[in-house]
Structure 1
Amino acid sequence: MDYIHLRDMQFFGYHGVLPEENVLGQRFRANVSLAVDIKGAGETDELDDTVSYVGVYDICKEVIEGKPYKLIEAVAEAIATQILTKYEGQVFGCRVEVVKPDPPIPGHYKEVAVEITRGQFV
């Protein structure tokens, strides 16, 4: 199994349970790993033989900057579902991490995040 990683993508969205999160918005980061077979792309050097990073980035951007969700769990699920649907037959599994660096939680911490794995990911 081969992997494609898109790391530390940054977006602004309006996800959260608290009303002010849906009004003010906040930064989000996303990391995506795709389980793929890219041997052909390595041999041919052709984009058609791999998964476009731009397409995956665009899915993440559309979900995170789009319709507000209450939970980042739902954001991650929407990203994974769209990737697996768009790239069916090319992407065997994906791991999606959504990071909320500044949630409105009192205390000292770096960030909160969820990570999900869907499909075959070895």
Structure 2
Amino acid sequence: MMYRIKINKMQFHSHIGVFQAEKELGQRIEIDLAVTMTTPYQGDQLDDTVSYAEFYQLVAQLVNRSRVNLVETLAHDIIQAIHQLDAKRIGLVQVNVRKIAVPIDGIFENVEIEMEG
């Protein structure tokens, strides 16, 4: 039985963006992560899977260190780093990154990118 591990609506303060104000002041982002495991569910031991706490810590580290222009770059970096945790057990990784307050004219809730790999 295959399965996915999901962490939804992780919230962070980031300094990602092309505008100077975004880089200096930052803004809130939300990240959803879905990781498809390639090995079937095997039992009630943490050693039989990858800890979702590791996923969260890795995402948090990448957001806190990231000073990139695009959320697409952050999503790509997250996918690459998740795969490196356990390449044998981790299959498809899907990341959604939402910028909550985007400095452009218009009325909308957020801007979101979705990437998988």
TM over 0.5, shorter chain: yes
What letter corresponds to residue 116 of structure 2 in structure 1?
T
1:28 and 1:98 in contact (8 A); partners too: yes
Q: Mark the runs of 5 or more structure 2 residues left unpaired by the alignment.
A: none
What letter corresponds to residue 113 of structure 1 in structure 2?
E
1:11 and 1:64 in contact (8 A); partners too: yes
The CA deviation at 1:66 is: 1.2
Q: Which residue of 2 aligns with 1:30?
A: 31
The CA deviation at 1:38 is: 4.4
Equivalence map 1:1-122=2 (5 Å): 1-36=2-37, 37-40=39-42, 43=43, 45-118=44-117
Give the Cα separation in 2 of the matches to 1:38 and 1:68. Answer: 37
RMSD after superposition: 0.9
2:66 and 2:74 in contact (8 A); partners too: no
Give the Cα separation in 1 of the matches to 2:33 and 2:100. Answer: 17
1:38 and 1:49 in contact (8 A); partners too: no
What letter corresponds to residue 63 of structure 2 in structure 1?
I
Give the Cα separation in 2 of the matches to 1:80 and 1:29. Answer: 16
What letter corresponds to residue 93 of structure 1 in structure 2?
L
SS at match of 2:53: helix
Q: Mark the runs of 5 or more structure 1 residues left unpaired by the alignment.
A: none
Give the Cα separation in 1 of the matches to 2:93 and 2:66. Answer: 22
What letter corresponds to residue 5 of structure 1 in structure 2?
K
Give the Cα separation in 2 of the matches to 1:68 and 1:111. Answer: 20
Paired positions, count: 115
Q: Name the TM-score, length of structure 2 as normaliser.
A: 0.94
2:63 and 2:74 in contact (8 A); partners too: yes
What letter corresponds to residue 110 of structure 1 in structure 2?
E
